Copies of this chain bind each other. A is one copy, B any other.
Amino acid sequence: MNPFRFHNPTVLYYGAGQIEAHLADEVRKYGRKILLVYGGGSIKRFGLYDKVMGILRDAGCQVFELAGIEPNPRLSSVHKGVDICKKEGVELVLAVGGGSVLDAGKAIAAGAKYDGDVWNFYMRKDRVKDALPLGTILTLAATGSEMNGNTVVTNWETKDKLGMGSPHLYPRFSFCDPANTLTVPRDQTVYGIADIMSHVFENYFSTAPNTPYQERMAEGLLQTIIETAPRLVENLQDLEARETVMYCGTMALNGMISMGTAGDWATHAIEHAISAIYDIPHGGGLAIVFPRWMEYVVDDAGDKLAQLAIRVFGVDPSGKSKRETALEGVQRLKDFFRSIGAPSSLADYGIGGENISVMAEKAVTFGPIGRIRKLEKEDVERILRACLN
């Protein structure tokens, strides 16, 4: 493995009853002026808003609100939150929602302690040196944002969707109760599953030497998701399946499976370029791109792809070349995504080839992407074309 430093300071609360038992104490550690960040209002429909507001009021907090965070959270919303924090002297950002809400919360926490435009961090023009404390209550299993320092935001004016990370942006605390994900509709549940699997893939396709246990952890996540997802898609009220998927989402991107690895992450850059232009769900885009990326790099990552095929998808390698085994695994991944109702091509979103060059250009904004194989603009164009149908 590569030498590494690991430090994940987030205090994680999992399961029923934790919000009631511990939220007030956690919040009080940081102050009484709270910015509550949330999305389209589902937390109001399903009672979580009232529960949280009740606890905050009983704790003597003054609560400011920023509602309406978009599924691909927009810089314009982040700016609104930063303004509230600066104007009101907010002491803690509390993000209640899915990964988009959490990512917006992180951007707001960073922007509140910064004189320039928070977008500078995403454009790699500056680094986060300080941030407001952030707490989260997760309502959608997908991004892992509840236990890492990463955030992705979309600048709708320039049509750029970019990510950044900082040690200052780890949530101080996160509450994950699978019961709060029971009302997530089928399509978003599926996108979350595709997102989680994609995080595992990005880490699994690493160029670091000697990472056998990291690979086992990654394979175990995929096996667990593949066993659980069909049950969940069949019955969205299956609380045990919700719990398993939520836990896998956290573990897929909290730094555990990537200790000492060097993940690829080209596919995420490609998907960000697609949804920056078309505003499609991130997980949907990933389900389309990842199998095509695997096919494109089959001669660069044959060993790992064959291992994935055998260990995770149960492909029998006997009598097959490594390449054949690898490609059979990719086909099983496509079949799995289709079986749970994930999109399988850009055509499923009505997207044609008209912007392929623009998207490819965006994907390589900061230079060639990926580690397994360095992808130039032309490579990205080829992968995108393979995604069309």
Contact = CB atoms under 8 A, between A and B. Distances in A.
Interface of A: 1-18, 22, 209-210, 212-213, 216-217, 219-221, 223-224, 227-228, 240, 243-244, 247-248, 251, 256, 259-260
24 contacts: A1-B15, A1-B243, A1-B247, A2-B15, A3-B14, A3-B18, A4-B14, A5-B11, A5-B14, A5-B18, A6-B12, A7-B9, A7-B10, A8-B8, A210-B240, A210-B244, A212-B244, A213-B224, A213-B244, A216-B219, A216-B224, A247-B259, A247-B260, A256-B256
Q: Which 7 A-B pairs have the closest CB atoms?
A: A3-B15, A216-B220, A6-B12, A7-B11, A213-B224, A210-B240, A212-B224
Total copies of the chain: 2
Given A212-B244, A220-B220, 5 more contacts: A12-B259, A209-B240, A212-B224, A213-B251, A216-B220
A111 to B, nearest CB: 26
A240 B260 CA distance: 13
Nearest to A228: B212
A213 B220 CA distance: 7
A9 B3 CA distance: 19
Given A210-B240, A212-B224, A217-B217, A13 B17 contact: no
A7 B3 contact: no
A13 to B, nearest CB: 5
Given A210-B244, A224-B212, A259-B14, A22 B1 contact: no
Nearest to A174: B6
A221 B228 contact: no
A187 B248 CA distance: 38
Contacts of A8: 8
Contacts of A228: 212
Contact of A15 (B4, B10, B14, B224): B4
Contacts of A6: 11-12, 14
Contact of A5 (B13, B210, B217, B221): B13
A72 to B, nearest CB: 28
Nearest to A212: B224
A130 B93 CA distance: 30
Contact of A217 (B2, B12, B14, B220): B220
A20 to B, nearest CB: 11
A214 to B, nearest CB: 8
Contacts of A17: 3
Contact of A248 (B4, B12, B18, B213): B213
A221 B210 contact: no
Contacts of A210: 240, 243-244
Contacts of A221: 213, 216
Nearest to A8: B8
A224 B244 CA distance: 23
A5 B12 contact: yes
A362 to B, nearest CB: 35
A5 B22 CA distance: 10
A141 to B, nearest CB: 12
B223 A216 contact: yes
A15 to B, nearest CB: 3
